[in-house]
Structure 1
Amino acid sequence: MSEPIIQIEHLNKTFGAGPTAVHALEDINLAVQPGEIFGIIGLSGAGKSTLVRCMNLLERPTSGSVMVDGKEMTKLSTKELNRARQSIGMIFQSFNLLMQRTALDNVCFPLELIGTKRPQARKRAQELLDLVGLGDRAGAYPAQLSGGQKQRVAIARALATSPKVLLCDEATSALDPTTTLSILALLKELNEKLGVTVVVITHQMNVIEEICHRVAILDHGVIAEQGSVEDIFSHPQTDIGRRLVYPNGVQIDRLPEARVIRIAFNGGSSYEPLIASLAIDCGVKVNILGADTRNIEGKAFGTMLLGLPEDSVEAAKALRYIQSQPDITVEEVTGHA
Structure 2
Amino acid sequence: MIQIQHLNKTFGSGDGAVHALEEINLDIRQGEIFGIIGLSGAGKSTLVRCMNLLERPTAGKVIVDGQDMTALSEKELRLARRNITMIFQSFNLLMQRTCLKNVCFPMELCGVPADKARRRAAELMELVGLGDKADAYPAQLSGGQKQRVAIARALATDPKVLLCDEATSALDPTTTASILELLKDLNRKLGVTVVVITHQMSVIEEICSRVAILDGGVVAEQGTVEDIFSHPSTDAARRLVYPGGASVQQYGAATHAVRVAFNGGSAYQPLIASLAIECGVKVNILGADTRNIDGKAFGTMLLGLPDDPNDAAKALSYIRSQPDVAAEEVEYHA
* Normalised TM-score (structure 2): 0.96
What is the CA-CA distance between 1:257 and the residue it aligns to? 5.6
Residues 158 and 77 (structure 1), Cα distance of their counterparts in 2 relative to 1, 3 Å cut: same
- The answer to whether 1:145 aligns with 2:156 is no
**Which of 105, 126, 131 pairs up with 2:127?**
131
Alignment of structure 1 residues 1-337 onto 2, 5 Å? 5-251=1-247, 253-255=250-252, 259-335=256-332
Contact 1:41 1:202 in 2 (8 A): yes
Q: How far apart are the structure 1 equivalents of 2:237 and 2:326?
A: 19
Q: CA RMSD in A?
A: 1.5
What is the CA-CA distance between 1:132 and the residue it aligns to? 0.9
Q: How far apart are the structure 1 equivalents of 2:275 and 2:125?
A: 51
Aligned residue identity for 2:196:
V
Contact 1:258 1:310 in 2 (8 A): no
Q: Which shifted more, 204-213 or 146-155?
A: 204-213
Contact 1:256 1:307 in 2 (8 A): no
Aligned residue identity for 2:180:
L
What is the CA-CA distance between 1:320 and the residue it aligns to? 1.9
Runs of 4+ in 1 over 4 A off after TM superposition: 255-258
Q: How far apart are the structure 2 equivalents of 1:29 and 1:103?
A: 38
Contact 2:210 2:223 in 1 (8 A): yes
Aligned residue identity for 1:6:
I
Q: How far apart are the structure 2 equivalents of 1:267 and 1:85?
A: 39
Contact 2:255 2:332 in 1 (8 A): no
SS in structure 1 of the partner of residue 265 of structure 2: strand
Give the aligned length: 333
Q: How far apart are the structure 1 equivalents of 2:255 and 2:70?
A: 62
What is the CA-CA distance between 1:211 and the residue it aligns to? 0.8
Report % sequence identity. 76
Contact 2:279 2:315 in 1 (8 A): yes
Contact 2:3 2:26 in 1 (8 A): yes
Deviations 1:115-153 (A, max 9, x none): 111121111111111111111111110100111110000
Structure 2: state its 5+ residue gaps: none
What is the CA-CA distance between 1:256 and the residue it aligns to? 7.4
Structure 1: state its 5+ residue gaps: none
Aligned residue identity for 2:158:
S
Aligned residue identity for 1:168:
C
What is the CA-CA distance between 1:113 and the residue it aligns to? 1.1
Deviations 1:24-78 (A, max 9, x none): 1111111101111111111111111110011010111111000001100011122
Q: Which shifted more, 317-326 or 91-100?
A: 317-326
